[in-house]
Homo-oligomer: A and B are copies of this chain.
């Protein structure tokens, strides 16, 4: 069985490494004579690789070689990954990818081509690194209607928030540490602005609810506005702040989907997920809550998920797995301002006493919970709003002229 790998970066080189190490065992497991990496597509050369003679810069060699049955795409990005993957599927090759940007933006189109051609297009590694999540949702939970899915989907931001919580670091110090340790890029926007988590919740929502959700449909907010002061108020409230990607089935067939920092109660399975670990909570109608936890990134964890998909393709060489989703429609993902939630709000009393400002807040919202901590700056007020549509909360807040809003963070019931 010949395979090809496109992109010899962190994940792609890990795939080659695992196959080099365990290839014989995998061949036995899948009843093949051998599993051979025939080509590795990369502009660079790697003279020390055991596959140094398989490197090519010519995609045509891969797509035109009928002996290559499974192609691994670990290049990342949309260009040229999308064209290459599309061409491979159209040529009747099975494709496995770890590229979340590709699946979130082009998954529907690629799944349709795979369906037409009777080949598999698998992407377990695109969410949660090596944590099994795509296949469990598709197969193990297939007897469930999934009602909701929520996860800590980005290890870099979780590392930063953990440092802010446990070691009282500022956001900037924690980010710098993450960069020094190689967890964050020099340009950390994809992580800290929530874009990476957004792509992952798109994939999970598409699979769980059966219609494609695109990143631009998902309200996305990162963690750059979170301060150590907010983290302290979260502790007073009884929890922690995590960057959460979540999607929920609404009664009318629509869904809500968003990525935001959020308060999570202590004792919840998501609250204890620290450092670079990820965890995904799935709520099914029969199963109740299930949580999947593990390393959401890293060379070997992610590569091992890619290789598991490759083995699955080999096992399903002539039988298409039943796997995919349909197109959505205008308005399928509701405006986040319509979703009901409660908020933590941190504000300053404008030129009047805290008790006068607090009275104005309760006058506008009804009874709220005020959060008090040691060493609160003069004039600072922190409180938790009732549950109502976010748009309504925003309207009420804008009308309380006695306070100036500093920060506002979702409160979840996970």
Contact = CB atoms under 8 A, between A and B. Distances in A.
Nearest to A319: B319
A307 interface: yes
A312 B139 contact: yes
Contact of A145 (B22, B284, B286, B301): B22
A76 interface: no
Contacts of A30: 322
A286 B18 contact: yes
Nearest to A266: B272
Counting chain B CB atoms within 10 Å of each CB, which of A291, A295, A307 scores highest? A291
Contacts of A29: 142, 322
Interface stretch (A128-136, A170-178, A194-202): A128-136
A289 B294 contact: yes
A292 interface: yes
A144 B304 contact: yes
A141 B322 contact: no
A407 interface: no
Interface in A228-266: none
Please state the number of chain copies in the assembly: 2
A356 interface: no
A117 to B, nearest CB: 17
Contact of A293 (B18, B293, B321): B293
A295 B287 contact: yes
A43 interface: no
Contacts of A272: 267, 269, 272
Interface in A306-338: 306-308, 311-312, 315, 319, 321-322
Interface string A116-149: 0000000010000011100110011111110000
A130 B308 contact: no
A314 to B, nearest CB: 10
A290 interface: yes
Nearest to A298: B288
A286 B311 contact: no
A302 to B, nearest CB: 9
A25 B18 CA distance: 39
Contact of A300 (B141, B286, B294): B286
A69 B295 CA distance: 40
B139 A135 contact: yes
Counting chain B CB atoms within 10 Å of each CB, which of A131, A269, A298, A315 scores highest? A269
B311 A142 contact: yes
Given A131-B290, A136-B140, A291-B291, 13 more contacts: A18-B286, A22-B143, A130-B286, A131-B287, A132-B141, A135-B135, A135-B139, A139-B311, A143-B303, A143-B311, A288-B294, A289-B295, A315-B322
